[in-house]
Structure 1
Amino acid sequence: MSASASERLIEATRDLLWERGYVGTSPKAIQQAAGAGQGSMYHHFTGKPDLALAAIRRTAEELRAAAEAALGGPGPAYARIEAYLMRERDVLRGCPVGRLTMDPDVIASAELRAPVDETLDWLRGRLAGIVQEGLDSGEFSGPPRAEEVASTIVATLQGGYVLARAAGSPAAFDTAVRGLLALLSARTDR
């Protein structure tokens, strides 16, 4: 029962953070969504910040694992980047990690912000490594630096989420991704 209550609390917090942000996620809402009482919450976690940190870490780990599943696959650099960009996403909900960057309480807390920063840094680094592979093999033509291309990929994804949410349609995200892939394709020697 103990692990089950802890897991339910973390999962409920993850969902609420994604939907409402940190400020909009009250301990009472977490307890209701998890079907757990106040005593159970404070038995497992010292408070909302501790529980939120566990939820943010879990979300960051899952995002990295999903990204790595596409980026670490076989094939040339372009194909792996394409697989990552085209993977299934809940576009209208936005990026569960990227959305946290818009939450002033998360950004103000070095502890809560750390898994967000680490994940975005990891993603840019992982993408830069793949772009560099493509540059080194001659698949991509220069001169852009791999780090600049990687940042452009991440910025396009995050911006695509914003545009899709604003329009209430995933079409804006899809258009941004297709445009980025067209730019990357123009730099390949395929």
Structure 2
Amino acid sequence: MDSRQKVIESAKRLFWTHGYSTTSPKQVMADSGVGQGSFYHHFPAKSDLGRVVIEENGRDLLATVRSAMEGADNGRDRLIRFLGTTADALEGCRIGGFSYDAGILADPELRETLGSAFEAMTTMLEGVVREGQSDGSLSTALDPTSTAAAVFALVEGAFITARASGRQTPAHNATLGALLLLPAEPAPTAIDTNR
């Protein structure tokens, strides 16, 4: 692993456990074993490192969700698998956690990077809703954009409530409730040809 990637991996871990705002470049250097010259060569400002970490965490999250959805029979089952990513909600979401870090919210570029990561996830989920409507596993009455946004917000909220309570139960209950909001397309009624 080169020095740049060492810095990124350390920052991902430290920003997650301690927060972006309260982690100093010096702490990242100490954790990564990368010297000051090399650190600042790759990341002239802390915000440069923050942007890369948010982008990588966003890509990691998308990859994790896509992997969880692999092998699902239809769009509804893929959404159910996405909801299942809250099974370890006490761990929290490595991208959602940035949404309440004051240092990130105060920096327009970092906030925009975070927003782009969220947008990528909801766009992917919107595609899954459309797939479900096409394959008949989800009702065509659902608005794909709104449904994707709601499912994503529900999952992020499940992480937050689980961590706040210190229990997995709130996330589990939220997931069960979400399943009721994802009705399958009703089967067409048979036409009585004897009438």
The alignment's TM-score, normalised by the length of structure 2, stands at 0.85
CA–CA distance in structure 2, aligned partners of residues 68 and 48 of structure 1 = 30
| Counterpart check, 1:146 vs 2:147 | no
CA–CA distance in structure 1, aligned partners of residues 163 and 173 of structure 2 = 13
Alpha-carbon distance, 1:85 to partner: 1.9
Alpha-carbon distance, 1:156 to partner: 0.7
CA–CA distance in structure 1, aligned partners of residues 32 and 86 of structure 2 = 26
Task: Give the percent of matched residue pairs that are identical in Structure 1 and Structure 2.
Answer: 31
Alpha-carbon distance, 1:98 to partner: 1.1
CA–CA distance in structure 1, aligned partners of residues 86 and 32 of structure 2 = 26
**CA-to-aligned-CA distance 1:33-88 (integer Å, 9 cap, x gap):** 21223223113221211122222221111111112223454421111111222147
Gaps of 5+ in 2: 188-195
- Give the structure with higher Rg (CA): 2
Q: Which residue of 70, 78, 81 maps to 2:79?
A: 81
CA–CA distance in structure 1, aligned partners of residues 25 and 6 of structure 2 = 13
CA–CA distance in structure 1, aligned partners of residues 51 and 129 of structure 2 = 32
Specify the SS of the correspondent of 2:181.
Answer: helix
Gaps of 5+ in 1: none
Q: Which residue of 56, 59, 66 maps to 1:58?
A: 56
Q: Give 1:46's aligned residue.
A: 44
| Counterpart check, 1:133 vs 2:131 | yes
Q: Check conservation: 2:21, 2:104, Cα contact below 8 A.
A: no
**CA RMSD, Structure 1 to Structure 2 (Å):** 2.1
CA–CA distance in structure 2, aligned partners of residues 102 and 174 of structure 1 = 23
CA–CA distance in structure 2, aligned partners of residues 55 and 89 of structure 1 = 24
Q: Give 1:167's aligned residue.
A: 165
Q: Give 2:28's aligned residue.
A: 30
**Structure with a larger share of its residues in helix:** 1
Q: Give 1:108's aligned residue.
A: 106
